[in-house]
């Protein structure tokens, strides 16, 4: 059996822990080629985190980190001294240990990443800071994870990949939605063959952020600016990450090209004009980001994905999370399934009947704690729990720098397509040909 056949067989029969580990080890055996696919962490007893950015997201993730077994938060950094000190106080209260605090300006993170007592740097800052911070962390010999999207230009996507390969440090995208209860259950349902051969997916980030975007604090200080200079999908990965995992993107398939179209812009402007006086400086802003951006991605194996983004209109939250194949379809919000030949009319049925049989092992193991912690329905805890598990057991991470680059690239590529009248735009192959190796996502946990 050659390696490729072995990996194929491993994916087919990888429902046991043993097969999962064998799969990871097989992938590791080629890690000397320079890529970061399947490269295991060096096992550590305790995962020592440093966190850059202690705003809304960073402080929430610190709360979840402190609930993990075998994890510590050793250092925090923020340009907002109050935010950093508040986070540090909570860490001390919860763990009894005072973290080091870095608040001396926009580049003080460079001092945090140089510490010699950190295993992982978590980056939860505004988008434009993700890449310089991740690069600095890797250059200083630290594994890192960045909030989403990892990067906003193709050049920066390549920068993450090349720095990770050169320094042999992982750069993960902390895409919590990949660890959602439904997303992981659907992965199991797909693995069990219930949906047949996959054909099509739909993903979205539809979230009414109008109030948030126009605030004078938090994300309002930076997240509205891109709406004045960019027109495309600003936040592609919450929807796209899980669908990419279903389809085995970078694990036997890859994104080939996309076409993208943006609607007119209106929602943010109308909301602003209705809520802010005529002399408010915000009234002078000119938004260029179309309200609804729709991209269609085609994969190398011929599958299609519809990917949408709208954060400025009054619509209930929706990531769509649809995946369909030759035998059936799953669609979220609310979660429902339809399988070919099921009794009755052609109607979706509730997912409830599948929950017991297909609940993912990670949720079986830690679902109770995840629900108690609560972050985004528990997915935030499962993401961190799994990261700590991989680092403590010396496993490769589930999500790597190639995923960070590929999923994030959908943002800038959509802008290019929109600007050219919806011409097709090719995805770069960040894996340099390694995408053809089939390997199970989360195989080691199965």
Ligand X SMILES: NC(=O)c1ccc[n+]([C@@H]2O[C@H](COP(=O)([O-])OP(=O)(O)OC[C@H]3O[C@@H](n4cnc5c(N)ncnc54)[C@H](O)[C@@H]3O)[C@@H](O)[C@H]2O)c1
Q: Footprint of ligand X on this chain (CB under 6 A)?
A: 52-58, 77-80, 83, 106, 109, 124-127, 129, 147-148, 176, 218-219, 376
Other Cβ atoms closer than 10 A to 268: 23
Q: Which DSSP letter does residue 15 get? A: T
Please state whether the peptide bond connecting residue 334 to the residue before it is cis, i.e. omega within 30 degrees of 0. yes
- Closer to ligand X by CB, 212 or 429: give it: 212
C-alpha span between 370 and 385 (Å, rounded) = 9
Q: Give me the least distance between CB of 50 and ligand X, in Å please.
A: 12
Task: Return the number of the residue (23 or 83) whose C-beta is nearest ligand X.
Answer: 83
Residues contacting 189, CB < 8 A, separation 6+: 195, 330, 337, 354, 358
CB 255 → ligand X: shortest distance, Å? Answer: 21
CB of 328 to ligand X, least distance (A): 29
- Cα torsion angle, 13, 18, 20, 24, sign: negative
Residue with token string 């491993």: 10
CA-CA distances (angstroms) from residue 51 to 74, 91, 144?
A: 8, 12, 10
End-to-end Cα spacing for the chain: 23
Provide the minimum distance between the beta carbon of 171 and ligand X in the complex, in angstroms, as a whole number.
14
CB 166 within 8 A of CB 308: no
Q: Which residue, chain included where needed, has tokens 């995992």? A: 245
Q: CA quadruple 337, 340, 341, 346: dihedral positive or negative?
A: positive
Cross-strand partners of 229:
none
* CA–CA separation, 246 and 189 (whole Å): 10
Q: State the minimum distance, in angstroms, from the CB of residue 105 to ligand X.
A: 8
d(CA 276, CA 214): 9
As measured in angstroms, the least distance from the Cβ of 24 to ligand X is 26
Q: How far is the CB of 83 from ligand X (least distance, A)?
A: 4
- Identify the H or E element spanning 407: helix 401-419
Shortest approach of ligand X to residue 256 CB, angstroms?
27
- H-state helical runs in 325-400: 352-358, 361-373, 379-393
The answer to whether the beta carbons of residues 413 and 154 sit under 8 Å apart is yes
Q: What is the DSSP string of 103-134?
A: -SSTTTHHHHHT-SS-SEEEE-S-HHHHHHHH
How many residues would you count in the chain?
446
DSSP-based three-state secondary structure for 43: coil
Within a 10 A sphere around the Cβ of 297, how many other Cβ atoms?
Answer: 27
Query: Minimum distance between the CB of residue 111 and ligand X, rounded to whole angstroms?
Result: 11
Minimum CB distance to ligand X, residue 283 (Å):
22
Helix/strand/coil (H, E, C) string of 213-258? HCCCCHHHHCCCCHHHHCCCCCCCHHHHHHHHHHHCECCCECEEEE
Q: In the complex with ligand X, which residue's Cβ is closer, 127 or 381?
A: 127
Residue, CB closest to ligand X = 55
- For the bound state, the minimum distance from the C-beta of residue 333 to ligand X, rounded and expressed in Å, comes to 16
The label of the residue with tokens 């680092």 reads 391
CB nearer to ligand X: pick between 19 and 134: 134
> Which one, 7 or 404, has the nearer CB to ligand X?
404
């Amino acid at each position: 059996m050659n390696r490729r056949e072995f990996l194929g067989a491993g994916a087919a029969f990888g429902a046991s822990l043993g097969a999962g580990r064998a799969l990871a080890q097989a992938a590791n055996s080629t890690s000397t080629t320079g890529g970061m696919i399947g490269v295991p962490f060096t096992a550590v007893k305790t995962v020592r985190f440093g966190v850059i950015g202690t705003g809304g997201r960073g402080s929430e993730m610190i709360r979840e980190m402190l609930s993990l077994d075998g994890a510590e938060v050793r250092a925090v950094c923020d340009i907002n001294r109050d935010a950093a000190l508040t986070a540090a106080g909570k860490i001390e209260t919860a763990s009894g240990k005072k973290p080091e605090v870095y608040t001396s300006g926009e580049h003080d993170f460079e001092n945090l990443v140089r510490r010699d007592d950190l295993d992982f740097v978590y980056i939860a800052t505004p988008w434009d800071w993700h890449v310089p911070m991740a690069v600095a962390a890797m250059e200083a010999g630290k594994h890192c994870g960045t909030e989403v999207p990892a990067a906003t230009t193709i050049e920066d996507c390549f920068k993450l990949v090349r720095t990770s390969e050169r320094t042999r440090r992982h750069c993960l995208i902390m895409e919590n939605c990949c660890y959602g209860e439904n997303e992981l259950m659907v992965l199991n349902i797909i693995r069990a063959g219930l949906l047949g051969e996959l054909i099509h997916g739909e993903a979205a980030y539809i979230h009414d952020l109008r109030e948030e975007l126009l605030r004078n604090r938090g994300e309002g200080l930076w997240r509205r600016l891109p709406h004045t200079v960019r027109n495309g999908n600003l936040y592609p990965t919450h929807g796209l990450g899980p669908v990419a995992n279903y389809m085995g993107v970078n694990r036997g398939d890859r994104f080939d090209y996309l076409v993208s179209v943006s609607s007119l812009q209106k929602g943010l402007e109308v909301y602003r004009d209705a809520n802010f006086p005529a002399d408010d400086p915000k009234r002078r802003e000119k938004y260029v980001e179309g309200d609804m951006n729709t991209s269609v991605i085609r994969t190398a194996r011929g599958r299609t994905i519809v990917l949408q983004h709208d954060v400025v209109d009054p619509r209930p939250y929706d990531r769509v999370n649809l995946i369909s194949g030759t035998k059936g379809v799953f669609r979220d919000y609310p979660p429902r399934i339809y399988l070919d030949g099921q009794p009755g009319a052609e109607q979706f049925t509730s997912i409830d009947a599948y929950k017991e049989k297909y609940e993912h092992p990670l949720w079986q193991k830690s679902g109770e704690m995840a629900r108690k912690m609560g972050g985004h329905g528990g997915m935030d805890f499962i993401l961190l729990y799994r990261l700590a598990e991989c680092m403590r057991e010396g496993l490769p991470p589930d999500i790597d720098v190639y995923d960070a680059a590929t999923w994030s690239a959908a943002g800038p590529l959509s802008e290019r397509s929109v600007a050219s009248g919806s011409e097709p735009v090719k995805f770069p192959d960040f894996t340099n040909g390694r995408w053809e190796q089939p390997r199970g996502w989360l195989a080691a946990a199965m």
